[in-house]
Amino acid sequence: MVRENYMIIDKDLFWRDGFVLVKGLLSTDDTRNYKELLVKLSGLSDESYYDDKTWVESDGVSKNKDFWPLIYNEKLLNIMRKLLRSAPRYLQYSDLHVHYGSVGWHRDIRCDSDLDLNEKIGALRVAFYFQTYEESGFKMGVIPGTHHSTSLLNKLEIKAWSLYRKFTHKLPFGYVTLRPEWLQIDSGDCLIFDSRLLHSGGYISGPKYSIYAGYGEDNNRLSKRQVEYLHERKDLGYEECSDGLKKVLTEKDVMSEYILERSIGSPKNIIED
């Protein structure tokens, strides 16, 4: 059954399901420009997909000034203002993807306990896409409600299907305890989801360009944890938020208290004798 409420910006629905798909959030011009930037930075093109080339850059939005307008896109901020309890904050957690997919059910934030799942709202992940469904065949999978609860049976089923996928390189053919929904993605679409939500990219059959960015609230321990993750994952090479970006984030009222705290404790500010 096709649900009608993918695009309804309603806080209660969002808190219940954990996601909203906003069709055509970005204009055609913006979509073309960001795709061109991804092509330039990655050195890959549509054709590279057919040579099995992929590219990922962590912290890519913050490191590249040309992407900053995405962070404070007014349409996006207005939507997040409806979904959150306080002003949206950019958490500096971002990835640029070319022809890359993350297939397999996962969350984008560590959830240690029921306490984490019981929080009404966690950090947010915002995904922007720059190719048509016709070009890529890309669908994004989400399992509504799993940001608040995942039963033991759900977990076992996820384990079983991930083994199946590992050995067959195919997506599951049927679910028993899980109710995934597969969202058809087009150029300019934007998916906003709670980082705790179980989600999976679908396999692609053509070029794909996407940007994933993290947002949250001040005074929210899951938003704080999202920023702490940037410290922990040294391998991802997150840099301290630059003064230029801090200035812009402050002007646009999306500066996070956790990013500011992080700067204070960053190695750059530690004086060694």
Ligand X SMILES: O=C(O)CCC(=O)C(=O)O
* Binding flag, residue 57, ligand X (CB under 6 A): no
* Binding flag, residue 130, ligand X (CB under 6 A): no
From CA 188, how far away is CA 70, in angstroms rounded?
12
With CB under 6 A as the contact rule, the residue among 212, 215, 229, 258 that binds ligand X is 212
* Binding flag, residue 205, ligand X (CB under 6 A): no
Closest distance to ligand X from the beta carbon of 98 (Å):
11
* Binding flag, residue 101, ligand X (CB under 6 A): yes
Pairing of strands 55-58, 89-98: antiparallel
| Spatial CA neighbour of 105 closest among 16, 196, 183, 23 | 196
With CB under 6 A as the contact rule, the residue among 17, 59, 108, 217 that binds ligand X is 108
Residue with tokens 């993750």: 229
Closest distance to ligand X from the beta carbon of 97 (Å):
6
Closest distance to ligand X from the beta carbon of 126 (Å):
11
From CA 39, how far away is CA 33, in angstroms rounded?
10
Of residues 129 and 255, the one with the C-beta less far from ligand X? 129
In terms of phi and psi (left: phi > 0; alpha: psi -120 to 50; beta: otherwise), the region of 87 is: beta
* Binding flag, residue 194, ligand X (CB under 6 A): no
* Binding flag, residue 17, ligand X (CB under 6 A): no
Tell me how long the chain is: 273
* Beta strand ranges found along 31-177 (DSSP E): 55-58, 89-98, 124-129, 139-142
* Binding flag, residue 256, ligand X (CB under 6 A): no
β-partners of residue 201 are 140
Provide the 8-state DSSP code for 21.
E
With CB under 6 A as the contact rule, the residue among 18, 201, 207, 216 that binds ligand X is 201
| Interaction residues for ligand X, span 70-99 (CB under 6 A) | 95
* 8 A C-beta contact, residue 195 and residue 110: no
* 8 A C-beta contact, residue 81 and residue 88: yes
Closest distance to ligand X from the beta carbon of 189 (Å):
12
* Binding flag, residue 199, ligand X (CB under 6 A): yes
* Both structure tokens of 131: 């190719």
* Binding flag, residue 69, ligand X (CB under 6 A): no
Binding residues with ligand X: total (CB under 6 A): 8
Of residues 110 and 252, the one with the C-beta less far from ligand X? 110
Residues that bind ligand X (CB under 6 A): 95, 101-102, 108, 199, 201, 210, 212
